[in-house]
Structures are given as C-alpha cells and as structure tokens.
Structure 1
Amino acid sequence: MPPSSPDGTIGERPALARGAGQHVLVVAGEPELAELLTTTLELAGYRISLADTGAEALARAMENRFDLVVLDATLPDLAGLGRERRPPAAHRPPVLFLTAYDSLDRLVPELGLGEKDYVTKPFRVAEVLTRMQVLLRGRYRGPRRDGALAYRDLVLDDARCQARRGTRALDLTPAEYRLLRHLLVNAHGVLSKEQIGRYVWGDFRGGNAIEQLVSRLRRKVDRETPALIHTRRGFGYWLGSADGEA
C-alpha cells in the first residue's frame, strides 16, 4: 500500500483502506479532531455517530450497536468511567484508541469494549483507516466449536490461549499464536507481509522474519493433511482448504 501524504490528507484515496457502511462511533472532544475524523471516515465509506465525552460515548454504546469505536484516549472524563455500567457482551465493539502514549498498557479499560488497538498522535489518516480495517476484520463470524474459533479440525481457544489440530495440541509461541489467529479470522483471504507484521509485532518486519515465522507455524499446523496454510506468491499468505471447502 503506498504511503499517505505526510500531512495525513486523503489525496491518495484509491490506496487507502475503505469501509463498507459499518457504523462507527467517533469519540473526540476537540472540534478540529472530531471534524477531521468524521469527514474522513464518511468519505471512506463508514456511517458515523459522534460523541464528545466519555460519558456520552458510554450512553450511546449502551443504547446502540456499533461496529467500531474510535476513541480519543486523552479525554479527561475517561478515568473510572463504566465501572458500574457496561454494554452487554454481545454489544461490545472493538475500539481504536488515539493516544499520545506508545503502549496499550496505559490506556483505560473501563469502557468495557471489545478488542483493542491504538495509533499514536499525531496520526496519519492512512494508519487510522488500516487499523480500523484490521479490527473490523478481526470480528470473527466464522464457525465456532464450544465457543472457540474453528476451521475444519483446527481449533483456537482464545480463553485458554490454546490451539489444536484434531486431537493434537499445538505448542505455539505467542507470535505463532497471533499469526494463526490472524490467518484463521481471515480464512480464505490473503494477508500481506505488512498486514501480518503489524498484527503480530505491531510494526512491519523486513528481511525473512515473516517467512521464518510462517514456516515454523506450518511445521506445527500442517503435519496432518490437508495442508491449511498456503502461499500466494507475490501477495502473501492465506489459511484454508485448497479445495475451497470450509
């Protein structure tokens, strides 16, 4: 994907990740930031609702189902918010934090939202759109088995951080587990090396780091047949059955 312009404008619109009408709640107290996000995300194909405080965001999340929340983590009223009231589990959307910090460890968890990611301020619009797309695609709606993610005889249990193929447990490192989860959530979709690197490590890894990671994971997952992890040369990697059947 070509980089966006340094000022974060949307001059290279064909290269930017786009939405498909998903409903996004933007939570921003600064009028300039709210206007930038609202205009940009609407142009990118999202439906936008706006809140300017954490309390208003929580009230909206209790009453409506959003596909994603984009939240300015510097809002002053976030601390302690939502400890008594949380959206029902089925209504908890993923959240993209906009933060001045370079770590999720310092971000408030009190809103009771779903899967989390972040970009640091000042941010580039292209990065915001890419991270939104990753979070939205991460909302797995495929087959499950006893509450765990599943594809044929491959099962990934996030509650226990365990994976198995058939009856065989897979002894995975954290990086291998994250890669397998990313491939499974996006089954039959090709993931580029850049997408994989940013999901697994939070940044792009050059050289042969990703090839080595994929190779190690393949040796563990694909002892049985059919092989589930494949290479699309020149594009990336994908998980699925070569015959196209789930």
Structure 2
Amino acid sequence: MMVLLSVGLVLLMAGVLIVTICFSAALSIMPYISGALISLVICTEVPFAKEIVPDHPFMNYCVILIIVEVIIAALMRIKWIGRATALCFNEIMVGIISMFILDAMKPDSIGYCVFITLVYLVGNLVFLTTNSSKYASEEKPVPAGIIISTLMYAIAGYFILAIPTELLWQKYIEQTFPSVVVGFMVVYWALRIVICGGILVKGIIRAKKSLSDDQIGERWDIDGREEASSKSV
C-alpha cells in the first residue's frame, strides 16, 4: 500500500512539474506566436507584402515572419519597453484564443455574462502579470520609452475590454434587449475612449514630467560644473 502511495505521489509531482514546465514554455513563446499570426495578417492584407518574393507566398510569409519576430525580440529586450511589449503581444494572443472560446458561447443571462467576464479578467490578470513581470526594469524610463510603452498598454487595454464586450455582452444584448443595442454601443465606445484615451494621456503626462526632470537635472549639473570651475579659478 505504501509503495502504491509513493508511486502515486511521485507521478503526481512529475505531472505538476511537467505542467509547470509546459506553462512556462507557453508563457515564453506566446509573444512570438502572436508575431506569427501578425505576419500572416500582413501577408494576406498588405498589398506590397505579397511582392517581396513574387509568386512565392510561403517565402513571402517566411521573410515577413523573420522581420516581425526580430522586431518583437528586440523590443522585449529593451529595458524601458520590454514589459509593455511582452504584455501587449501576450494580450493579442490571449485575445485571439478568447475570441474563439467566447464566440462559441451562448450567453442567456446577465449572471452568465458577469461570471464569464470575471473569469476572463482574472485569467488575463494572472497570465499577463506572470509573463510580463520578468521583463520589468528598475531603471528610470526615458520619455520615448514611456510613449512606446503607453501605446502598447493602450492596445492591450483595448483587447481586454473589446473581447468580452463584443463577443459576450453585445451578443446577449442583441438577443435579449434589441431595443437598447444602440445605447449599449454608445456606452461601449465611451468606455473605449475613456480607458484607452486615459492610458495615452497618462503616458504623455509621465513622459513630459520625465523630460522636465531630465532637463532640470542637466541644468543642475551644468550649474554645479560652472560653480566648481569658478571656485577653482
């Protein structure tokens, strides 16, 4: 009996370890999977992209894929924007997966929509925080880094808001309360403007403050050098 329990415990621990390794691997490659999908969209939707290697769509895709993946890898390794890049491209992938899942659902009550939305938001929070935290930097970001990060956070915010709203709540409202669809869409667009616009405005304010602080610091350095020079004379 003890032998069976020991074997079962070992198998359980091995299973947990395998799941953990697979989850960590998935977290690491998720931005690059997003890059592969973005490359596919570029190949199919951007006219000039089809002419990189004429009459060879697979080669076209490979060239664009390499370019996109190199850009993603480079952005993720820039200390000021690495976390925002990881979060943005992870959210794109999570959003695409969620689109298929939520599109297949049939919301039949407000409680159903609330429950699925909460699960979606909590899952997003855990997943994105876990995967993007390792790219965080303790160094003070430069203004350009703040602006780029802000744009990526705004894109991620759009996906987080749009997926459950358009594929869950809008579907439920259209089926149950068709007379208020217009009002619902007005509120939804207002939320998009407030959330995404708020992220952008906050980022611009942070960038301006950082730039002002840098200019003040440079001025102090210049004044300090001038004062030291005058004393030495």
TM normalised by structure 1 equals: 0.25
Between Structure 1 and Structure 2, the one with more helix by share is 2
Between Structure 1 and Structure 2, the one with more strand by share is 1
TM normalised by structure 2 equals: 0.26
